[in-house]
């Protein structure tokens, strides 16, 4: 078996982490049990480009249990858990191409290795796999029956491809499923971003001015958790509805140029480019901390920070680079602007990835069942899958809900009944 990982000797610790995460993934476990019996993905060559974490390992095991011939590569150079990668290879016979801290050259080499597997189904987190197949491998693109996309940034890229008429196979926007974004983006990013920032810096959030750039589900989750820990949350937005929502949720809303002057901690969660730029950094206070929790390291214009700074940055703590401005103010950039929740912490907890990855596995089954029948476009996850995942999650949490009575069903279906 070919693979490229940091050190196979780390497998023991990786296996313990994978099993620990599995304990908190009851919905995915049920999918795996059924897949083991029914083998809905039997013999399908599959390449997945995901953050190589303990949670992803459980998704990989589920796909393999369903009969998929799977290889896995990293979707970010700084999110791989090397011990998990080792265990996937050693204990679960799944080829992995991922090394924590790999440079861009190795990162793309790993993506190409996953493509060389000749997939008919792909799964992506950020759309790097799909976009590379589209640009460089037309023969492979012809054979792909469908692809699943995990994240907001990836869905934005895929929709742009579809709008340009460039998309060559159907893709499923798993990110847009409510069983994914309402929970993973909000509670997952909310908690893991706080976790990453605290692990990297050990700062106290209480009393700090925390500037949250972007008030989508990720920004909402992060703002909510910072508020809960006593921070004064300031939101910056470009969308008027979201800005209003933030204001009515009780947060101060202002432009980044204003927020720059008062923020102690800045975090971007927008999916867009250069949200924090030199013009903002110039105004920041001494000791300001700048981080990103969006998928790509483009949300902070690091080149402009480098141009502004005097001399080289100093790594004052692991994953904390300090830049000194001409006025003497020190700006601390975390994890080189890479997604802080996976670079400095362990990403979202298993309990929330349970829903995202159960949705991923079931969407994969749906794509295989509908091979050749799906239109080439960005599809939503079928509502039946979302219903099943949410009901099972509730039942795993021992929560029961009411059912509509016959009278209520009739009322909801009628338009004549008034006062």
Q: How near is the Cβ of 75 to ligand ADE at its closest, in Å?
A: 8
Query: Residue holding tokens 């390291």?
Result: 297
Residue (of 115, 121, 112) closest to 64 by Cα position: 121
Residues sharing a CB contact under 8 Å with residue 37, sequence separation 6 or more, in sequence order: none
Asked if residue 55 binds ligand ADE (CB under 6 A), the reply is yes
In angstroms, rounded to a whole number, what is the distance separating the alpha carbons of residues 31 and 29? 5
What would the x/- binding string for ligand ADE be over residues 277 to 296, using CB under 6 A?
Answer: --------------------
* Of 56, 87, 152, 270, the one binding ligand ADE by CB under 6 A: 56
Please identify, using beta-carbon distances, which residue of 86 and 353 lies nearer to ligand ADE: 353
Per DSSP, helices labelled H in 170-268 are 178-180, 189-201, 217-228, 240-248, 256-262
Shorter beta-carbon distance to ligand ADE: residue 145 or 335? 335
Question: 10 Å Cβ neighbour count for 200?
Answer: 21
Q: Considering only 103-111, 130-138, 346-354, 400-408, which stretch makes contact with ligand ADE by CB under 6 A? A: 346-354
Q: How far apart are CA 216 and CA 237, in angstroms?
A: 9
- Residues 315-344 interacting with ligand ADE (rule: CB under 6 A): 342
Q: Smallest distance, Å, CB 158 to ligand ADE?
A: 17
Asked if 17 is part of the footprint of ligand ADE (rule: CB under 6 A), the reply reads no
348 lines the binding site for ligand ADE (CB under 6 A) = yes
- DSSP, residue by residue, 119-166: -SEEEESSSHHHHHHHHH-HHHHHH--EEEE-SHHHHHHHHHHHHTT-
CA-CA-CA-CA dihedral for 150, 153, 156, 162, to nearest 10: -60
Side-chain-facing half-sphere of 281: CA atoms under 13 Å: 28
Q: Which of 47, 53, 58, 132: binder of ligand ADE (CB under 6 A)?
A: 53
Q: Closer to ligand ADE at the Cβ: 56 or 181?
A: 56
Q: Is 91 helix (H, G, I), strand (E, B) or coil?
A: coil
Nearer to ligand ADE, 187 or 251 (CB): 187
Residues, the chain: 419
Residue appearing with tokens 């599809």: 379
Q: With contact defined as beta carbons under 8 Å apart, do 129 and 73 qualify?
A: yes
Least separation in angstroms between residue 342's CB and ligand ADE is 6
- Asked if 44 and 123 count as a contact pair (C-beta separation under 8 A), the reply is no
Select 192 or 209, whichever has its Cβ closest to ligand ADE. Answer: 192
267 binds ligand ADE (CB under 6 A): no
Residue 155 vs 342, nearer CB to ligand ADE: 342
15, 44, 51, 295: which one binds ligand ADE (CB under 6 A): 51
> Nearest-5° angle of CA 134, CA 168, CA 98?
40
With tokens 């950094």, the residue in question is 281
Six token digits for residue 86: 């080792």
Q: Residue 196: which of 98, 76, 49, 111 has the closest Cα?
A: 76
Could you say which of 347, 355, 359, 362 contacts ligand ADE (CB under 6 A)?
A: 347
Nearer to ligand ADE, 52 or 284 (CB): 52
Q: Which of 392, 387, 369 is nearest to 29 (CA)?
A: 392
Q: Is 353 a residue that touches ligand ADE (CB under 6 A)?
A: yes
Q: Give the SS3 label for residue 253.
A: strand
Binding mask 166-195 for ligand ADE (x = CB under 6 A): ----------------------x-------
Cβ proximity to ligand ADE, 73 vs 145, nearer residue:
73
Distance CA 93, CA 88 (A): 6
Q: Near ligand ADE by CB under 6 A, which window of 36-44, 50-58, 240-248, 271-279?
A: 50-58
Stretch that binds ligand ADE, among 135-143, 308-316, 345-353, 377-385 (CB under 6 A): 345-353
Nearer to ligand ADE, 146 or 188 (CB): 188
| Count of residues interacting with ligand ADE (CB under 6 A) | 9
- Residue number, 152 or 301, with CB nearest to ligand ADE: 152
Work out how close the CB of 289 gets to ligand ADE at its nearest, in angstroms, rounded to a whole number.
Answer: 21
Token pair of 71, please? 């290889």
Least separation in angstroms between CB 401 and ligand ADE? 27
> How, if at all, do strands 265-268 and 289-292 pair?
parallel
CB of 269 to ligand ADE, least distance (A): 12
Task: Name the residues that contact ligand ADE, by CB under 6 A.
Answer: 51, 53, 55-56, 188, 342, 347-348, 353
């Amino acid at each position: 078996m070919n693979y490229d990982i940091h050190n196979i000797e780390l497998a023991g610790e990786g296996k313990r982490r994978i099993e620990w995460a599995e304990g908190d993934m009851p919905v995915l476990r049920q999918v795996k049990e059924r897949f083991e019996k029914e083998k809905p993905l039997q013999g399908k060559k599959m390449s997945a480009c995901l953050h190589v974490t303990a949670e992803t390992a459980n998704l990989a095991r589920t796909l393999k249990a369903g009969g998929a011939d799977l290889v896995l590569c990293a979707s970010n150079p700084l999110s791989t858990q090397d011990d998990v990668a080792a265990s996937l290879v050693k204990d679960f016979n799944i080829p992995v191409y991922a090394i924590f801290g790999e440079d861009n050259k190795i990162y793309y080499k790993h993506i190409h290795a996953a493509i060389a597997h000749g997939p008919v189904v792909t799964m992506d987190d950020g759309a790097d796999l799909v976009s590379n197949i589209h640009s460089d491998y037309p023969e492979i693109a012809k054979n792909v029956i469908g692809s699943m996309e995990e994240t907001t940034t990836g869905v934005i890229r895929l929709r742009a491809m579809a709008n340009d008429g460039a998309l060559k196979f159907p893709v499923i926007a798993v990110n847009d499923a409510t069983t994914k974004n309402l929970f993973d983006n909000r509670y997952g990013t909310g908690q893991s971003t706080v976790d990453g920032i605290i692990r990297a810096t050990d700062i106290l959030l209480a009393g700090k001015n925390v500037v949250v750039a972007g008030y989508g589900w990720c920004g909402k989750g992060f703002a909510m958790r910072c508020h809960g820990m006593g921070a004064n949350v300031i939101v910056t937005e470009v969308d008027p509805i979201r800005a209003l929502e933030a204001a009515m949720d009780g947060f101060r809303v202002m432009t980044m140029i204003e927020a720059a002057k008062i923020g102690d901690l800045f975090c971007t969660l927008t999916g867009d480019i250069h949200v924090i730029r030199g013009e903002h950094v110039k105004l920041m206070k001494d000791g300001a901390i700048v981080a990103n929790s969006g998928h790509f390291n483009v949300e902070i214009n690091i080149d402009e920070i480098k141009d502004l700074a005097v001399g080289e940055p100093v790594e004052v703590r692991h994953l904390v680079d300090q830049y000194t401005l001409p006025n003497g103010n020190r700006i601390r950039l975390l994890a080189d602007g890479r997604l802080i929740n996976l670079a400095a912490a362990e990403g979202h907890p298993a309990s929330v990835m349970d829903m995202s990855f159960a949705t991923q596995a079931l969407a994969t089954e749906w794509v295989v069942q509908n091979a050749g029948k799906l239109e080439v476009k960005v599809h939503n996850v079928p509502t039946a899958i979302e219903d099943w995942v949410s009901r099972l999650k509730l039942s795993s949490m021992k929560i029961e809900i009411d059912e509509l009575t016959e009278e209520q069903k009739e009322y909801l279906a009628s338009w004549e009944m008034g006062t």
